[in-house]
Amino acid sequence: LKTRPTAQVGSEGRRKPPNSRPPSTPDLAAAAAADEMLLLRGLLLAALLAVARSPLASASESDHKYKISEPVKLWVNKVGPYNNPQETYNYYSLPFCQPAENPAHKWGGLGEVLGGNELIDSQIDIQFLKNVDKGPICTIELDAKKVQQFTDAIESSYWFELFIDDLPLWGFVGETDKNNENKHYLYTHKNIVVKYNGNRVRVALICDLKH
């Protein structure tokens, strides 16, 4: 046997549910505030998803199609110790050759920014389907401070990351002499090979690093 609450009859003869009462003004305000909070949370979640889904490549408006002799940008990104990939720094935190003028910057989505990604135009002259002869990018005089920066980076097995047409390229900053741990070599020569198919870049590789 289950008991059920008895319905009440109002003065006009209509049946009312038990314990029913019209919502008060505070109840309506609380409900409106709750709905507004849910709406704000939904908008915030949608915004975060939109940022998270924005890939690094979407930072460029290019359609990745090139004509002969059209510039192909080489972007520098970051450096860091090989044994700790979460520890990264801006590429120019080391005293590499820097662009002469204010370079363009390119960021991806929120995840890319949190991952330490900040692409900077190296302003190195590269043209589609044109070989670039070996030559100096710049000349730097290394004082004691800069030498120590590179020495610390080499001892920590620092690697670097570059981008061409949204394709990553990796390499090490230098190496320690196998026979003398107090002697370090800085890689000052990079041989980059760019492979293409029609009017698009397909592969970009750093094939050779020399000091």
**Residue 11 resides in a domain:** no
User: What is the token pair recorded at 196?
Assistant: 């293409």
Same domain, yes or no, for 46 and 75? no
Give pLDDT, residue 186.
95
Task: Judge whether 117 and 162 are in contact, CB under 8 Å.
Answer: no
Let me know whether 142 and 73 are in one domain: yes
41 domain-assigned:
yes
90-148 pLDDT, tens digit per residue, is: 999 999 998 887 899 887 666 666 667 889 999 999 999 999 888 888 889 999 999 99
Which structural domain range is residue 44 located in? 20-52
One domain for residues 113 and 181? yes
Q: Do the domain assignments include residue 143?
A: yes
Do 126 and 108 lie in one domain? The reply is yes
Residue 110 and residue 35 share a domain: no
Single out the residue in 52, 68, 96 at which a domain terminates.
52
Residue 2: inside a domain, yes or no? no
Rounded Cα–Cα distance for residues 142 and 122 (Å): 20
The answer to whether residues 25 and 114 belong to one domain is: no
Q: Do 115 and 67 lie in a common domain?
A: yes
In a domain, 15, yes or no: no
Please identify, among 6, 33, 52, the residue that sits at the C-terminal boundary of a domain: 52
The reply to whether 64 and 167 lie within a common domain is yes
Q: Count of domains in the chain? A: 2
* Closest by Cα among 68, 90, 69, 71 to 79: 90
Looking at the fold, whether 84 and 38 belong to one and the same domain comes out as no
Same-domain status, 134 and 39: no
Comparing 123 with 2, the larger pLDDT belongs to 123
My answer on whether 42 and 82 are in the same domain is no
pLDDT tens digits, 152-209: 999 999 999 999 999 999 999 999 999 999 999 999 999 999 999 999 999 988 877 7
Phi, psi (rounded to 5 degrees) for 56: -60, -35
| Residue at token pair 């940008």 | 73
Q: What is the model's pLDDT at position 2?
A: 33
pLDDT at residue 111, as a whole number: 61
Residue 47: inside a domain: yes
- The residue assigned the tokens 């359609």 is 63
Q: Is residue 29 part of a domain?
A: yes
Q: Are residues 35 and 70 in the same domain?
A: no
